[in-house]
Amino acid sequence: DVVNLGIGLPTLVVNYIEEGKDITFQSENGFVGIGPAPSEGEEDPYIVNAGGKPVTIDKSGAFFDSATSFAIIRGGHVDATVLGALQVDKHGNLANWMIPGKMVPGMGGAMDLVVGAKKVIVAMEHTNKGRFKILNECNLPLTAKGQVNLIITEMGVIEVTSNGLVLIEINKDFTVEQVQDATEAKLIISEELKLM
């Protein structure tokens, strides 16, 4: 599978992949074959992810221009994207690009990724300073409507379905009640709930 990693928390995913998994990581800045973070002192200033952080390159690695990178994304050649979010709601709506009244550099590639990738995974902290991030309805400007498939936080893994948000995995350090209390939207608890 080809998996795009967005800026922020999603860039860490590559550091936690089990040996032998056949996943090729892509970055919108024109890089495929992202490997884990380099050891201290081994950084190459020219090998960076979309957030500008040093990474390594694996055996499948290649570099290309931004036009080619977005042709891969828009052309449907990305199996999944892992993005950060300011908010996600029970309908799979995503808000991840701006807070009104704050200066932002622009949309970035998120809008292309949510329509070009076959699966959209959000990796984020469950709350922001105690405020809900998983809502009944997003109240920030949307990046996409109904595109999120999966939400992964430090508390659990939540699948977005037509029936609502289903808690399918939970961190052993939290109870179902704690996860629900940190989530504005009502959670459906999977009958096959697993530990993360």
Q: Measured between alpha carbons, how far is 187 from 96 in angstroms, rounded to an integer?
A: 22
Contacting residues for 161 by C-beta, under 8 A, at least 6 apart: 188
Q: How many Cβ atoms sit within 10 Å of the Cβ of residue 186? A: 10
Q: Out of 18, 19, 28, 42, which one is annotated catalytic?
A: 28
Task: Measure CA 140 to chain center.
Answer: 18
137 in active site: no
Do 123 and 9 form a contact (C-beta atoms < 8 A)? Answer: yes
Do 30 and 64 form a contact (C-beta atoms < 8 A)? Answer: yes
Q: Measured between alpha carbons, how far is 13 from 121 in angstroms, rounded to an integer?
A: 11
DSSP 20-89: T---EEEETTTEEEEEPPPPTT---TT-B-TTS-B-EEEEEEEE--HHHHHHHHHTT--SEEEE--SEEE
Return the CA Rg of the chain: 17
- Report, as residue numbers or ranges, the catalytic residues: 28
